[in-house]
């Protein structure tokens, strides 16, 4: 089988930032708290439970009665990835080189398209650096068997 494309995840793959991950987790718990009208401490417990049992918040939102799209609409209002994630010009050069080699370049993230755009912009990338971007707006979050 001939390889035709290289597909990247965003979070934890294209960058590492403890500061941003902390902001992200805090904002996720805030949104859970607000959408469910529960104390922040209870939202933190739900967050931890979902992460330990399911592995990803995006897959666990339905279980706790939160619409994934609504969650990400609220979450993106609370975050500015450019405060914690620095541009990485070497990523842009790498993606360009992969394309020059004849491969398609894709990105698949459990985040919403808007949040992915903000993170990519913080990295010095934009949506045009990828042939395709699949987000939780487009498909069920990974890992999904299909």
**For 33-71, what is each residue's pLDDT tens digit?**
999 999 999 999 999 999 999 888 998 999 999 999 999
Q: Provide the whole-model pTM.
A: 0.91
Report the CATH fold assignment for 5-15+85-134.
Answer: Rossmann fold (3.40.50)
Phi, psi for 136 (deg, rounded to 5): -70, -10
CA distance 126 to 130: 8
Spell out the domain ranges in the chain. 5-15+85-134, 18-82
Residues of the chain scoring pLDDT < 50: none
């Amino acid at each position: 089988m001939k390889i035709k494309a290289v597909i990247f995840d965003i979070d934890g793959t294209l960058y590492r930032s403890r500061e941003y991950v902390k902001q992200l987790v805090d904002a996720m718990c805030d949104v859970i708290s607000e959408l469910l009208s529960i104390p922040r401490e209870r939202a933190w417990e739900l967050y931890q439970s979902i992460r330990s049992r399911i592995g990803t918040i995006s897959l666990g939102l339905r279980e706790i009665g939160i619409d994934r799209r609504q969650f990400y609409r609220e979450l993106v209002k609370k975050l500015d990835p450019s405060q914690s994630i620095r541009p990485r010009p070497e990523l842009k050069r790498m993606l360009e080189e992969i394309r020059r080699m004849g491969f398609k370049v894709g990105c698949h993230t459990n985040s919403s398209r808007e949040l992915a755009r903000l993170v990519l912009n913080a990295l010095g990338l934009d949506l045009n650096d990828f042939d395709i971007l699949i987000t939780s707006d487009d498909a069920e979050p990974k890992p999904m068997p299909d």
